[in-house]
Amino acid sequence: MSQPSVLAALLAGLQGGSIEVVDLTSPLSSATPVIQLPPQFGQTQVFELEEISRYDDRGPAWYWNNFRSGEHTGTHFDAPVHWVTGKDLADVASVPAGRLIAPAAVLDFSDHAAKDPDFLVEVDHIKAWEADNGPLPEGGWLLLRTGWDARSQSQEAFLNADENGPHTPGLSAECARWVAEESPVIGLGTETVGTDAGRAHSFDPAFPCHSYLLGADKYGLTQLQNLGSLPPTGAVVIAGPLPIVAGSGAPARVLALVERS
């Protein structure tokens, strides 16, 4: 008798509840927080819906909308071409589909971030996690849990800015370089508005997660939710950005598969 296929076993696990689907995506609406740059720079678009018809004389049996959005609004995927260091690398439509499904390592620094919104992850933090959980997954995601998703309903609380700029957790410049150049992961996922810490405009280089990771042909996922529902290891992330030709990134539906006993 033939053995059941891997895909059949996956479907059985999903239908039977032994594999849970966790939605890591922030709902996308006009209230979704967006990054704010200094006024001399171009600004991203707040998400907008424009109704085309809703069961009326514009279309009696159907409801649909046009939408307008920045590529980097809400839960979204950063392609390498987003940053000058990756300007000759892939746009979002060129990212190989096989790289959109990958294992995840979830590093929880929510207690640190609760005490210090400017908390920075260092290489030693990651190495300490590896000592307890094993190495970061080859070709996987490093997901940074900070508890910041609890702020996602408020633009002010999410950006957490004052006269000195935003205050949100992230990686130090040296840690960003290490993740880009020495770690086996394909990208970094965060709960904050971008992959960089709020103070990263003043780092050397500025915005090191963008500079180092995208320049190394790696990726970013931002404004993730529900990382607290994932184990430190074992989850599989499915990232589905819109394949915008020449796009620097795109809003994405991001799911995780988690095996439950």
> So which residues are the catalytic ones?
82
How far, in Å, are 63, 134, 195, 213 from residue 179 at the CA level?
45, 16, 12, 7
* Residue labelled with tokens 């990208």: 187
Cβ atoms of 67 and 50 within 8 Å: the answer is yes
CA-based R_g, the chain, Å: 19
d(Cα 201, Cα 166) in Å, to the nearest integer?
A: 10
Q: End-to-end CA distance of the chain, in Å?
A: 27
Q: What is the enclosing helix (H) or strand (E) of 158? A: helix 155-159
How far are the Cα atoms of 46, 187, 207 from residue 152, in angstroms, in the given order? 14, 22, 21
Q: How far, in Å, CA of 43 to CA of 94, rounded?
A: 25
DSSP 71: T
In terms of Cβ atoms closer than 10 Å to its own Cβ (0-12, 13-18, 19+), residue 6 is exposed
